[in-house]
Amino acid sequence: RLRALNRLQVILQHLKMSKQTDSTTEVLLEKKGGAGIITLNRPKALNALNLSMIQQIYPQIKTWEQDPETFLIIIKGTGGKAFCAGGDIRAITEAGKVGDKLSQDFFRGEYRLNNAIGTCKKPYVALIDGITMGGGVGVSVHGHFRVATEKTVFAMPETAIGLFPDVGGGYFLPRLSGKIGYYLALTGCRLKGRDVLKVGIATHFVESEKLPALEKDLIALKSPSKEKIADLLNSYHMKCTIDQEKKFVLDEHMEKINSLFSANSMEEIVKKLKQDGSPFAMKQLETINKMSPTSLKLTLRQLREGASMSLQEVLQMEYRLSQACMKGHDFYEGVRAVLIDKDQSPKWKPAALEEVSDEFVDNCFKPLGNDDLKL
């Protein structure tokens, strides 16, 4: 009897475990009233996106877009710490090392999802409460509405891991005012709270604790138009007084950012920073010197070209770059140094900007023929 009971407990325990690791619980897709709701549900991994989540979200958005009973789409994260801290970089690294297809499938799937959000005909509301970086920016910034809170932390930190600010970064970053997008992309600078709104990443700012009420009100709207949704978001936004008086964190540096980051090459940006010599410029120089020289060069060109491209063209270009990074050295070394061994001292190859040739950069942007991203 006891053994049978024990075995039953083991089976139950196993069922419980398999339920927790079951991919369907990593993202919850539900319909409430006229709203389709996407909940990123990997709180321990800060809701980082993996391929199975992407493969569930994409067709659901497409279905809701066609459904006359769905009037808006809401995306949010669980756990209170993060909306979505990025893509599942570790899995991609492991796959890339052994030439596994995941390193193609992941980026292909992710960029198709970014495009589906950017072209979505239904109003799309992202509640970017908490950490919102990399892939998390990709599933929010291309939608109609982005609601930040005092807990929001935005960054595109890819140059620190031998990658580039992808997920359409080449589209939205150069479109921010002045050269701030270039600055955010190259330095990985983090913006918090209201600053995410001030820079133009968020469209609204609401207290974190008011989000459940806002969500309820959004769901309760009867066949809402984009204007009605905007009105509701505006009413919450107007009532929020947190940090209202605070100046934009980069306010006093904007003039410098606009002049220093307007150079045509990374070498020139570095030269300008050295010549400027102010504490602000020296701090940026110190940051840039830690980044992958290859990533910096790819990023600068990605933004300069992306500034006049459509979102679709940008995502195609970024897919080419992603595959070039998968074949290179710095991505694996960056992930090792920052995420795995955490020694924070990557050995970049090449180690200096001057050693990254224009020819090498050109090659990373070349079409991939049949392997190009189809949107």
Distances (CA, A) of 137 to 44, 74, 146, 167, 169: 19, 15, 10, 8, 9
Return the beta strands (E) in the chain as ranges.
27-32, 35-40, 72-77, 82-84, 124-128, 131-133, 145-148, 153-155, 191-192, 204-205
Q: Which long-range contacts (CB under 8 A, 24 or more apart) does 338-344 make?
A: 338/160, 338/161, 339/89, 339/90, 339/161, 340/90, 340/93
Cβ contact 261:300 at 8 Å: no
Residue 307 half-sphere exposure toward CB, CA atoms < 13 A: 14
Q: Which sequence positions are flagged as catalytic?
A: 87, 135, 158, 166
Pick from 59, 61, 116, 55: nearest CA to 88: 55
Helix extents (H) in 81-125 = 89-97, 102-118
Greatest Cα-to-Cα distance within the chain, rounded to the nearest angstrom: 81
Count H helices and E strands in the chain, helices first: 17, 10
Return the structure tokens found at 337: 């140094």
| DSSP letter assigned to residue 192 | E
Task: Residue 283: count other Cβ atoms within 10 Å of its Cβ.
Answer: 13
How far apart CA 171 and CA 314 sit, in angstroms, is 6
